Amino acid sequence: MITMSIGGDLTVNRIGYGTMQIVGPGYVGPPRDHATAVRVLRRAVDLGVNLIDTADAYGPFVAEDLIAEALHPYPDDLVIATKGGVVRTGPDVWIPLGRPEYLRQALESSLRRLRLETIDLYQLHRVDPHVPLEESLGELEKLRQEGKIRHIGLSEVSVAELERARATAPVVSVQNLYNLATRDAEDVLRYAEANGLAFIPWFPMATGELARPGGVLDAAAREHGVSPAQLALAWLLHRAPNVLPIPGTSDPAHLEENVAAAGIALTAEQAEELTAL
């Protein structure tokens, strides 16, 4: 599998695994099938995935607990990236909360759930419009200096916010919504590429829309002899060398299909044709 570096010292394979899909409906509560959720996490690592992306808000807390149950003690090369700074009050409800004291509490709680002393990549889940970004990032930088965070990342930010954050703390990654059909974050991707930051697109397959039979990728995928999901991931990998997709699934077969996308090489012409779709 092709690799990349995060923060200059974390070497990861360029297909990660996102845990958003292994919790309950509306991203609240336990998975429908606990045993399968554990099996998918273990299988991801068996297949060579060495970055698991999660958040305390998934469940909430459920995904982090599942990771520890399935994978602890962790392989030496496994990078666990989690996020804090969002409060859940119900299904599909996400409320930013970036107060420094809350972020410290969230980080400490994630450390306990994940059974870690240091989190490799801790990401501010959302910018809180009621808290200056410098205050939120300043607290994460304090936690980094205390050794509780190895690297700091951001999620769903603009270029201007990214620049403000980097003036306060060393940021190594950004995670924004980005896929073949949704490219509003193109400027953030290019900024990240130019400045040596990892770009982690979430919903890389538009929650399955790009992978559905009869969809925009269906005919092109048949021409390539791959699945639509694999083609959507291959396009992302071709987009820039700092792109690290984190497709999530609760289905072991879909997991294997997603990971196999790392072996699909597109020519520049093929990538351009997909972009035009």
Q: Tens place of pLDDT for every residue, the chain, 277 residues? A: 799 999 999 999 999 999 999 999 999 999 999 999 999 999 999 999 999 999 999 999 999 999 999 999 999 999 999 999 999 999 999 999 999 999 999 999 999 999 999 999 999 999 999 999 999 999 999 999 999 999 999 999 999 999 999 999 999 999 999 999 899 999 999 999 999 999 999 999 875 677 677 777 888 888 889 988 899 999 999 999 999 999 999 999 999 999 999 999 899 999 999 998 8
The predicted structure's pLDDT at residue 219: 82
Query: What tokens does 49 get?
Result: 């995935």
Q: Which residue has the tokens 């090369």?
A: 77
CA distance 66 to 145: 28
Q: Which residue has the tokens 């420094």?
A: 100
CA distance 254 to 276: 26
CATH level 3 topology of 3-206+240-248 = TIM Barrel (3.20.20)
The predicted structure's pLDDT at residue 208: 63
Give the predicted TM-score (pTM) of the model.
Answer: 0.96
* Contact assessment for residue 202 and residue 189, using Cβ atoms and an 8 Å cutoff: no
The predicted structure's pLDDT at residue 45: 98
C-alpha pair distances (Å), 225 with each of 49, 146, 150, 209, 264: 23, 50, 41, 19, 10
C-alpha pair distances (Å), 63 with each of 38, 81, 85, 250: 10, 12, 16, 12
CB atoms within 10 A of CB 218: 15
* Contact assessment for residue 67 and residue 19, using Cβ atoms and an 8 Å cutoff: yes
Exactly one of 17, 27, 58, 74 is catalytic; which is it? 58
CA distance 67 to 58: 12
CB atoms within 10 A of CB 77: 13
Strands 86-87 and 17-18: unpaired
The predicted structure's pLDDT at residue 207: 57
What letter represents residue 129's amino acid?
P
178 is catalytic: no
The predicted structure's pLDDT at residue 216: 73
Handedness of CA 245, 248, 251, 252 (dihedral sign): positive
* Contact assessment for residue 233 and residue 245, using Cβ atoms and an 8 Å cutoff: yes
